[in-house]
Amino acid sequence: MLVRLTAALVLAAAPAFAGPAAVIVDETQAMKREPPPHGAIGMSTAYRISDAAPNRTMEFRKRVLHVGAAIGAHRIDHDEVYYVLSGEGEVVSDGKTARLTAGMAAYLYRSAVVGIRQVGDQDLGLIISYPIEKR
């Protein structure tokens, strides 16, 4: 009896109209080797994961900055997050620099001038996410 009641509660809580189906992305299909944005400093591998999602309102990208590479300083018009997957980097935000390693994130604020560079012997793996205007 309890099982039936629980199932009924779950069904009652389900929305009448669901959103669009999920878009599943294999990062190997979204991968491109290219110079990093904002200065083309060195070489990187970009994984344009969210590009496959129609009508999206956010970007979600993975980028690997190879040894010596950097995303050059640029002003952002939205909040943005750099999350470090691997390696080591130095992030700059309005002239202040901080060292980041795996498991660390930099929350960057709108109107700041920001950038990040790979340091050390290993590539710097990042997730970069930010909102975009609805298309």
Domains of the chain as residue ranges with CATH: 25-131 (2.60.120.10)
pLDDT value, residue 20: 87
pLDDT value, residue 111: 96
pLDDT value, residue 69: 98
pLDDT value, residue 33: 97
Specify the 3-state DSSP secondary structure of 116: strand
Q: Which residues of 17-42 are buried (b: 16+ CB within 10 A; e: fewer)?
A: eeeeeeeebeeeebeeeeebeeeebb
What are the CA-CA distances from residue 86 to residues 2, 37, 128 (Å)? 47, 20, 13
Which residues of the chain fall below pLDDT 50? 1-11
pLDDT value, residue 11: 47
Q: What angle do CA 114, 87, 34 make, to 5 degrees?
A: 65
pLDDT value, residue 15: 60
Q: Give 133's DSSP letter.
A: -
pLDDT value, residue 133: 77
pLDDT value, residue 17: 72
pLDDT value, residue 19: 82
pTM score over 0.85: no
